[in-house]
Each structure stands twice: as structure tokens, then as C-alpha cells.
Chains A and B, each alone.
Chain A
């Protein structure tokens, strides 16, 4: 518990580490999501074109 309290600076220290983790996870999730979305859009368009031909 003493380690977690960080000499009364716990709120400041843990909030910084928590925020950093959140931003990194969010960036990673956004990158994956955008890739899936772009890939899916292209896939749908190309397959629709193929079916038409």
C-alpha cells in the first residue's frame, strides 16, 4: 500500500500512468478499427464490381 500511495503523490503519479495507458490503447484500437473499415469498404466495392462483370 505504501508503494501505491507514492508518498502522497499517488493521485498524480497513477493518473499520469493510467492516462498514458488509455491513450496508447485508444491509438492502437483506432488504428486497427480504421484498417478494418478501409479494408472492408474496398472489399465490398471490388466484390460488387466483380459480380457486375
Chain B
């Protein structure tokens, strides 16, 4: 088992493996998202309270879920990189940050657009879920700015990993904010005790979108990590041999 992980963490091996796996993540992502978009927009029944505006959840919920998942990947990878000094883990963390920021931005904007007709406001500063999600976006920006400000990659890896680990506190707040404080944002629907509180016609497209976005994230992350590995290993022998080989990559 350790041998497998050790081999997987080897940059040249990962670089080649990621090229093989990225399209295999993209394919189910396309199928699931195509089904989720069509079923979510045209087949799912209208919500009795929110009307058709509820359909925004088909992009808002997967984005919000990925905003948290990307952060956890970034923090866990940073932690692994710090503890076991695994270079690949730092590359994963660095590659996850822009994607996490993109999905956090989407979660915030689509949530705000949904809030306008439903709550009568684009934004509510007093709401803990909205505010903690905004802080999450700033954490991503801070993480990327910190990396960009330090020229030495090893130092940038260490400093950014510490920042990512400290920021996990905010992820916990984002997740539990709707339970701990009174919030405009609705509570848990999918992970509710006793099963999801949704009509199956609404639920299945949402699950397809969540799974599809996860595969999409996987594909994008693999490709970004590949680039990150290539950049970090630019002065190594295997990169030189790969570039000079007739196949290249």
C-alpha cells in the first residue's frame, strides 16, 4: 500500500497518470451535468413557494459544496506536504486554490442572484452563512497572494500550508453556521436526519449535478496539478528527457 502511494507521489509517474485520468473524469462530468441541467431546468417540478427561481440551486448547491471541498483538499494537502514533505501534496494544494476561489465566487454570486427575488435583497451582512462564505473567498485570495509574494517555492509551500490549515476554522463555520445561528439561509436539506427533504423529481437532477461538478473538479484539478508539477520539476532530468523525446507531452 505504502509502495503504491510512494509511486503515485513520484512527480513523473503522477504527471503521466494525470494525463490518462483527466479525460476519464471529464466524460462522466459532461454526461451528468448535461442530464442535471436539462432535468433541473425542464423536468423538475416547480417549487410551491419559490416558483421556478428554485432552479438556481442546480448550480448554486454544487458550487457551494465544491467551495468547501476544494478548501479541504487544499488544507489537507498542505498538511501532508508540511508533515511528510511530499512535494506533490504542495502542488495539489497550489492547484486547488484557483478552482476553489472560482467555485466560491459562483456560490456567492448565484446565491446573491437567488436572494434578490426570494429575500428581496442581493446581500445580507448579518447572515452568518453569507459572511463566512465571503471570508472563504478572501482566504482563497489570501492563499494565492501569499504564494505569489514568495519567490522561493519551498517557503511559499510552507507559509501557504499554514494559512490553509488555520483557515479550516472558517470552513467549519461555513458548514455549521445555519445550525449555530439564526440565518436567512435555509438549513440542511440533503443531509437532513431522516433523508433529504426534497421531491425525487427535484432531488435526482441535483444529485447528478453535485456528482457531475465533482468529476469536473477532479478533471480540472488533475490538469492543473500536472502543470504545477511540470513547472516545479522544470530543471529535472525526467522533464528534459520528456521534452526531448519524439512524443513529448
Contacts and interface: CB of A to CB of B under 8 A. Distances in A.
Given A12-B56, A13-B52, A50-B244, A20 B63 contact: yes
Contacts, number: 90
A17 B59 contact: yes
A3 B41 CA distance: 8
> What is the size category of the interface that chain A forms with chain B?
20 to 34
Chain A interface helix/strand/loop/mixed: helix
B13 to A, nearest CB: 18
Interface string A1-45: 001001111101101110110011011101110110011011101
A42 B227 contact: no
A13 B53 contact: yes
B249 to A, nearest CB: 8
B155 interface: no
Nearest to B111: A16
A17 B33 CA distance: 12
Interface stretch (B127-135, B168-176, B187-195, B216-224): B216-224
Nearest to A33: B227
B106 A15 contact: no
A19 B223 contact: no
A23 B223 contact: no
Interface of A: 3, 6-10, 12-13, 15-17, 19-20, 23-24, 26-28, 30-32, 34-35, 38-39, 41-43, 45-47, 50
Identify the 5 closest CB pairs spanning chains A and B, nearest first.
Answer: A6-B52, A9-B53, A20-B59, A7-B52, A35-B227
22 contacts: A7-B53, A9-B53, A9-B55, A12-B114, A12-B116, A13-B55, A15-B113, A16-B59, A16-B113, A19-B109, A19-B110, A20-B59, A23-B102, A23-B105, A23-B106, A31-B223, A38-B230, A39-B249, A43-B243, A43-B248, A46-B244, A50-B244
